[in-house]
Amino acid sequence: MQAVILAAGEGTRMRPLTFTKPKVMLPVANKPILQHVIENLAKAEVDEVVLVVGYREETVRRYFGGEFDGIKIKYVRQSKQLGTAHALLSAEHLLEDRFIMLNGDAIVFEEDLKKIVNEESVIAVRKVSNPQDFGVVEIEDGFVKRIIEKPEKPPSNLINAGIYIFTREIVDYLRKTPLSARGEYEITDSITMAIAEGMNFKAVRIGKWIDIGYPWDMLKANEVLLSGIERDIKGEVEDGAVIKGDVVVGEGTIIMAGSYVIGPVVVGRDCRIGPNCYIRPHTSIGDNCHIGNAVEVKNSIIMSNTKIPHFNYIGDSVIGENCNFGAGTKIANLRLDESEIVVNVKGKAVRTGRKKFGAAIGDGVKTGINASINIGSLIGNEVFIGPGAVVNGFIEPNSRVY
């Protein structure tokens, strides 16, 4: 079966992490989000994937090539990101008579994909606690009656999960789809027209589904995915190091004496961990990283080639590639009053739903000794933070903070 994956957008809500790479290539449990999607499609016997790419597309093409995990990969370029209907129409010349379409930034799992792929025309739906943030689905006799985008008063808590089985008939409606109020050609408008003209879409409920919209959503996804790993130590563990639970350690990595690692944790290849550091559960560490003496890392994502070498604390944070933290740099992750953390995203206050969230830090950030990064900080790529500086809020790329 064929799958079409929409992977063209930047993901502006994921800034600063997407200044240097597309959202679908951000790593969770040491794999790009898109890789998790493709691997699960392979388990559901999908044998061809059409990737609709655009923003920093070379990153996607270079990583996946023409074949990945036994699946043939084809590419279509969406030169301007004008919406989901426009993205699918970009792939019109490659579409088979029946195919699955899904987003590259939301992880759906094997068991649910297997329920979907054998149906004729499907819209996957899921029960959530915040339906007002999604397209809410009304169902009649097992079929989708309509989709209401982000209603103030949702009629139900069932939402459109963005996973569809289409036939080529949908192309006629893609061509007729009008520009929405958001200035995009949206697939939900195409579906609405199709339903009005008698096309039926079966509503299939899915269970395990991870929608990644903001940087802190990566932490939840990381936690879910790490919960399924099994202990696998390929690197060296020195005498005096302690590893408890399900921990994965890549080839060429050394866990030095005095290190204390509690799973689930995954550590990539060619890393130096320790001596005398503390790695707490639900942490993923990329390739060629150094976590050094008297460093504590908790529930965080550390991307490849990053060095956190002396007397640092990293909690509930996402740290980009090629970062280097000076001795004593610490990230706060809890308000003193222990209330929900609110983050400034694109000039708007956004509730995280979390009591603990540290920072999202872009690629190439360097800090001086004893720098302090406050809760909910978003720090752009190639930022220099001077010794003793205190960072709050959103820091633009290439800034200097003293």
Q: Indicate if 232-401 has the same CATH topology as 2-213.
A: no
3-state secondary structure the chain: CEEEEEECCCCHHHCCHHHCCCHHHCEECCEEHHHHHHHHHHHCCCCEEEEEECCCHHHHHHHHCCEECCEEEEEEECCCCCCHHHHHHHCHHHCCCEEEEEECCEEECHHHHHHHHCCCCEEEEEECCCHHHCEEEEEECCEEEEEEECCCCCCCCEEEEEEEEEECCHHHHHHHCCCCCCCCCCHHHHHHHHHHCCCCCEEEECCCEEECCCHHHHHHHHHHHHCCCCCEECCEECCCCEEECCEEECCCCEECCCCEEECCEEECCCCEECCCCEECCCEEECCCCEEEECCEEECCEECCCCEEEECCEEECCEECCCCECCCCCEECCECCCCCCCEEEECCEEEECCCCECCEEECCCCEECCCCEECCCEEECCCCEECCCCEECCEECCCCEEC
Higher local confidence (pLDDT), 115 or 385: 385
On average, the pLDDT of the chain sits at 92
On whether the CB atoms of residues 195 and 116 are closer than 8 A, the answer is no
- For residue 12, pLDDT over 90 is answered with no
Q: What is the pLDDT of residue 50?
A: 96
Instruction: Give mean pLDDT, residues 279-291.
Output: 97
> What is the number of alpha carbons within 13 Å of residue 213 lying toward its C-beta?
10
Whole-number pLDDT of residue 238: 95
Grade residue 267 by pLDDT with cuts at 50, 70 and 90: very high
Model confidence band, residue 56 (pLDDT cutoffs 50, 70, 90): very high
In this structure, of 91-95, 116-120, 214-218, 222-226, the range with the lowest mean pLDDT score is 116-120
Give Dmax over CA atoms of the chain in angstroms.
Answer: 70
If one compares 278 and 112, the residue with the highest pLDDT of the two is: 278
pLDDT value at residue 188: 87
| pTM for this entry | 0.91
Task: Summarize the confidence of residues 253-280 as an average pLDDT.
Answer: 96
Q: What is the mean pLDDT of residues 113-127?
A: 87
Strands 283-285 and 242-244: unpaired
Query: What's the CATH number of domain 2-213, 3.40.50.300, 3.90.550.10, 3.40.630.30, 2.70.70.10?
Result: 3.90.550.10
Catalytic-labelled residue, pool 36, 86, 93, 310: 310
133 vs 401, higher pLDDT: 401
pLDDT of 213 reads 87
Q: What is the pLDDT of residue 253?
A: 97
Q: How confident is the model at residue 162 (pLDDT cuts 50, 70, 90)?
A: confident
Question: How far apart are alpha carbons 242 and 385 in whole angstroms?
Answer: 34
Name the pLDDT band for 18 (thresholds 50, 70, 90): very high
**Domain boundary assignment for the chain:** 2-213, 232-401
Each residue of 130-152: pLDDT tens digit? 888 788 888 888 888 888 888 88
pLDDT for position 236:
95
Q: Which CATH architecture has domain 232-401?
A: 3 Solenoid (2.160)
282 is catalytic: no
- The answer, yes or no, to whether residue 390 has pLDDT greater than 80, is yes
pLDDT, residue 310, reads 94
Q: Which of 121-135, 249-263, 319-333 has the lowest mean pLDDT?
A: 121-135
Q: What is the mean pLDDT of residues 95-104?
A: 92
pLDDT confidence band for 13 (50 / 70 / 90): confident
Statement: residue 388 has pLDDT above 80: yes
pLDDT at 115: 86
Q: Quick one: pLDDT at residue 160?
A: 87
CB atoms within 10 A of CB 355: 14
| Mean pLDDT for the stretch of residues 284-289 | 97
In this structure, what token pair is assigned to residue 79? Answer: 């030169």
Give the rounded percent of residues in the chain with a pLDDT score beyond 90: 64
Could you tell me the pLDDT band of residue 94, with boundaries at 50, 70 and 90? very high
